[in-house]
Amino acid sequence: MDYIGDMFSLKGLSYSQYLTSRKYDRGERHIKNLFDGLVTAVEYAIYLGVHGSIIEFGTGWGLSTNILAYANKGASQHWDNPCRNMYLLDTFSGMPKPSHEIDKNQKSWIGGEFAGLSALELSEVLEKHIPSNNIKIYKGLFSETISKIPENEIFAVIHVDCDYYHSAKEVLTFLFRSKMVAVGAILIFDDFNCNQARNDLGERKAWTEIVKEFGVNFSFVRAHSVSGSQFIIHSYM
């Protein structure tokens, strides 16, 4: 009997009995999947010495940001490393209406979604995990704020929750062109499979173009919840 089979046998349950005894809870599964993916990403960067900070594009209600900060603190303490800086970019007023023609062709978002925590509320949440001097919050459209990131900064963990093609392409172009993506960086897309996982829309299209334009050599790591994916960056031009 395999290992999973042994576990079920020890509990005195068959597969069918185990599954029928559990109530399906999508919210619980979503949080668990996000937690596992984001914590492992930060642990990877800290434990294996990938240089650089953590950056998130799109903070919304702060769920993923909170998990990243939790992992930043815990993994840094566990492996006796200083906390990584965290750069957090959002409008803090919800998604803008789609402006690029490609984004107007998708049906997932119309603008106004994810008007979650304010910048102050997000900072207060994160300060429960990491020192305030490690928190860098930029309020506004990505096009208005991304150029404010210090020129010498580099990122080990990059969480792209931009949703739109144009936004994802804009921030990734800036990071790769500015050589801010560390060798070995882990790149996380939150909405990679949205729009029926079409390659001509959203974050998928943005990533396909970035790979071609910058000659990105990368490896697929894992699915990130239902809609996302994670990649490790080996090299780029």
Does residue 147 have a pLDDT over 90?
yes
Listed range (94-98, 141-145, 183-187) with the worst mean pLDDT: 94-98
Q: What is the pLDDT averaged over residues 153-175?
A: 94
The pLDDT of residue 2: 42
Phi, psi (deg, nearest 5) at residue 220: -75, 135
The pLDDT of residue 189: 96
The pLDDT of residue 195: 81
The pLDDT of residue 14: 58
175: its two tokens: 């990071």
Does residue 3 have a pLDDT over 50?
no
- List of domains in the chain: 25-235 (3.40.50.150)
Q: What is the pLDDT averaged over residues 163-173?
A: 92
Q: What is the pLDDT of residues 13-57, one digit of tens each?
A: 555 665 567 778 878 888 888 899 999 999 999 999 999 999 999
Between 91 and 100, whose confidence is greater? 91
Q: What is the pLDDT of residues 170-221, one digit of tens each?
A: 999 999 999 999 999 999 999 888 888 888 888 999 999 999 999 999 999 9
Between 134 and 22, whose confidence is greater? 134
**Interatomic CA distance for residues 235 and 218, integer angstroms:** 7
Q: What is the mean pLDDT of the chain?
A: 88
Collapsing DSSP to helix, strand or coil, 133 comes out as helix
Give the E-state strand segments of the chain in sequence order: 53-57, 86-90, 135-139, 155-160, 181-189, 217-224, 228-235
Does residue 6 have a pLDDT over 60?
no
pTM: 0.88
Residue 1, number of CB atoms within 10 A of its CB:
8
